[in-house]
Amino acid sequence: MSSPTHDATGPHDPGHLIAGLSGEFDLKNGLKLLWAGKAWIIVIAILGLGLGFLVTYLQTPIYRAQALVQIDPPGQNLSALSNPYPATAFNYFDHRNYYNTQYRIIRSKALGARSIEKLELGDKPPFKNAKEPPLLFVSRVQVVPVPDTRLAQIMVNHEDPHEAARWANTLAEAYLEQTLESKIETTRSVYSWLQERLSAAEGAVEVSEQSLYEYTKQEDLFVDSDGQNIGSETLGRLSQEATEAQTRRIELESALAQVDKLKKAGESVDALPQIAADPLVQRLNMSKADLEVEFVQLQNNYKAGHPKVKKVVTQIEQLQEAVDAQAEKIVDGMLAEYQQLRRRERDLRASINTERKQSVEDNRKTVQLEMLEREALSNKSMYEAILQKIKETDVASSLRENNVSIVERASVPVTPIRPQPVNNLAVSLILGLLSGCGLVLLRDYLDNTLKEQEDIEKHLRADCLAIVPKHEAAHEGVITEAYRTLRASLLFNREREHGNVVLLTSSIPQEGKSTTAVNLAKALAESGDPTLVVDFDLRRSSIHTHLRLYREPGLADYCSKDLKLDIISQSTRQENLSAVTSGKLPPNPPALIGSLAVRRFLEECRERYTWIVMDAPPIVSVTDPLLLAKLADMVLMVVRANQVDRKLARRSLTALRRTGARVVGVVLNGVDPKQDSYHYYYNYYAGDKAAAESKVTRMRRPTARRPARGA
274 in the same domain as 393: yes
The whole-number pLDDT of residue 224 equals 52
Whether residue 666 is found in the same domain as residue 517 = yes
Clarify whether residues 267 and 356 are in a common domain: yes
pTM above 0.85?
no
Sequence-distant (≥ 6) Cβ neighbours of residue 649 within 8 angstroms: 450, 459, 460, 507, 637, 639
Tell me how far apart the alpha carbons of residues 593 and 536 are, in angstroms, rounded to a whole number.
Answer: 8
CB-based burial of residue 216 (10 Å sphere; 0-12 exposed, 13-18 middle, 19+ buried)?
middle
Q: pLDDT value at position 456?
A: 86
Q: Whose CA is closest to 466, among 448, 432, 489?
A: 489
pLDDT of 689 reads 52
CA dist 375 and 391 (Å) reads: 25
Q: Of 463, 503, 477, 461, which is closest to residue 630 (Cα–Cα)?
A: 503
Question: How far apart, in Å, are the Cα atoms of 153 and each of 71, 97, 147, 418?
Answer: 11, 18, 11, 19
Comparison of pLDDT for 63 and 129, the residue scoring more:
63
More confident residue, 562 or 525: 525
User: Residue 421 falls within a domain, yes or no?
Assistant: no
d(CA 97, CA 398): 29
488/596 same-domain check? yes
Q: Nearest Cα to 416, choosing from 242, 600, 161?
A: 161
Name the amino acid, one letter, at 82: S
* Element at 146 (helix H, strand E): none
What is the spatial distance between Cα 146 and Cα 140, in angstroms, rounded to a whole number?
19
Which pLDDT score, from 0 to 100, does residue 3 have?
A: 37
Name the nearest CA neighbour of 216 among 373, 356, 363, 355.
Answer: 373
Pairing assessment for the beta strands 663-671 and 141-145 based on DSSP bridges: unpaired
Confidence check: pLDDT of 503 > 60: yes
Task: With cut-offs at 50, 70 and 90, classify the pLDDT of residue 93.
Answer: confident
| b/e sequence 9-31, b meaning 16+ C-beta within 10 Å | ebbbbbebbbeeeeeeebeebbe
Contact residues for 15 (Cβ-Cβ < 8 A; gap 6+): 21, 22, 445
pLDDT over 60 at 380, yes or no: yes
Which of these three, 349, 372, 397, is where a domain ends? Answer: 397
Which residue, among 683, 671, 678, 673, has the nearest Cα to 451 in the 3D structure? 671
For residues 589 and 542, the answer to whether their CB atoms sit within 8 Å is no
> What share of the chain in percent tops pLDDT 70?
82
- 168 closest CA partner among 63, 69, 65: 65
Q: What is the pLDDT of residues 394-436, one digit of tens each?
A: 655 555 567 888 899 999 998 888 887 888 888 888 998 898 8
| Backbone angles phi and psi of 467, in degrees to 5 | -125, 115
What is the model's pLDDT at position 195? 72
Mean pLDDT score, 200-217: 74
Choice between 191 and 427, residue whose per-residue pLDDT is larger: 427
Cα dihedral sign, 588-593-597-602: positive
**Does the residue 8 lie in any domain?**
no
Q: b/e for 508-529, b at 16 or more Cβ within 10 A?
A: beebbbbbbbbbbbbbbbbeeb
Closest by CA to 106, choosing from 175, 6, 176, is 175
Q: Are residues 359 and 487 in the same domain?
A: no
Q: List b or e across 448-468, with b for residues whose CB sees 16 or more CB atoms inside 10 angstroms.
A: eebbbbbbbeebbebebbbbb
The percent of residues above 90 in pLDDT, for the chain, comes to: 18
User: Do 384 and 251 sit in the same domain of this protein?
Assistant: yes
At residue 23, the pLDDT reads 42
CA proximity to 630, closest of 608, 658, 660 = 660
pLDDT at 15: 39
DSSP-assigned letters across all residues of 167-224: HHHHHHHHHHHHHHHHHHHHHHHHHHHHHHHHHHHHHHHHHHHHHHHHHHHHS---B-
248 lies in the same domain as 386: yes
d(CA 651, CA 14): 20
Instruction: Name the residue range of residue 570's domain.
Output: 453-695
User: Which H/E stretch holds residue 557?
Assistant: helix 555-561
Peptide bond into 419 cis (omega under 30): yes
Same domain flag for 261 and 363: yes
The answer as to whether 218 is a domain residue is no
Least confident of 2-16, 129-143, 570-584, 684-698: 2-16
* Full strand arrangement of the beta sheet holding 569-571: 464-469, 663-671, 634-640, 500-506, 611-615, 531-535, 577-580, 569-571
Hey, which residues does 419 pair with through a beta bridge?
A: none
Give the separation between CA 176 and CA 186, rounded to whole angstroms.
Answer: 16
**Gap between the Cα atoms of 535 and 551, Å rounded:** 10
| Domain of residue 626, CATH code | 3.40.50.300
Q: What is the pLDDT of residue 20?
A: 37
Q: Does position 305 have pLDDT exceeding 80, yes or no?
A: no
**Whose CA is closest to 644, among 616, 669, 610?**
669
Q: Are residues 634 and 485 in the same domain?
A: yes
Chain segment 646-681, per-residue pLDDT in tens: 888 899 999 999 988 999 999 998 887 776 555 555
Which of the 8 DSSP states describes residue 270? Answer: T
- Average pLDDT, stretch 256-283? 70
Q: What number of other Cβ atoms are within 10 A of residue 164's Cβ?
A: 25
Instruction: State residue 701's pLDDT score.
Output: 38
Residues 309-336: tens digit of each pLDDT: 777 777 777 777 777 777 777 777 777 7
Per mean pLDDT, which of 149-158, 183-192, 393-402, 473-482 is the most reliable? 149-158
pLDDT for 401? 66
Residue 618's pLDDT is 92
Task: Give SS3 for 611.
Answer: strand
Number of domains making up the chain: 2
pLDDT in tens, 573-614: 989 999 999 888 888 888 888 889 899 999 999 999 999 999
Q: Is the same domain home to 336 and 463?
A: no
What is the DSSP secondary structure assignment for residue 73, as one 8-state letter? P
How large is the greatest C-alpha to C-alpha distance in the chain, in angstroms? Answer: 186
Half-sphere exposure (Cβ direction) of 311: Cα atoms closer than 13 Å: 6
**Which of the two residues, 248 and 542, has the higher pLDDT score?**
542
Cβ atoms of 136 and 157 within 8 Å: the answer is no
Comparing 34 with 331, the larger pLDDT belongs to 34
86 vs 127, higher pLDDT: 127
- Residue 109 domain flag: no
User: 232 in the Ramachandran plot: left (φ > 0), alpha (ψ -120 to 50) or beta?
Assistant: alpha
pLDDT higher at 490 or 397: 490
Give the integer Cα–Cα distance in Å for 597 and 217: 139
DSSP string, 287-331: HHHHHHHHHHHHHHHS-TTSHHHHHHHHHHHHHHHHHHHHHHHHH
Is residue 425 included in any domain, yes or no? no
In a domain, 559, yes or no: yes
pLDDT band for position 703 (cuts 50, 70, 90):
very low
- What was the pLDDT predicted at 269? 65
Q: Are residues 235 and 349 in the same domain?
A: yes
Asked if 184 and 128 touch (Cβ cutoff 8 Å), the reply is no
What is the distance of C-alpha 191 from the center of its chain? 56
Backbone φ, ψ for residue 281 (5° rounding): -65, -40
Question: Per the domain annotation, does 73 fall within a domain?
Answer: no
3-state secondary structure 499-556: CEEEEEEECCCCCCHHHHHHHHHHHHHHCCCCEEEEECCCCCCCHHHHHCCCCCCCHH
Q: What Cα–Cα distance (Å) separates residue 245 from each residue in 251, 341, 346, 356?
A: 10, 6, 10, 19
Same domain for 300 and 375?
Answer: yes
Mean pLDDT (the chain) is: 78
Q: Per the domain annotation, does 209 fall within a domain?
A: no
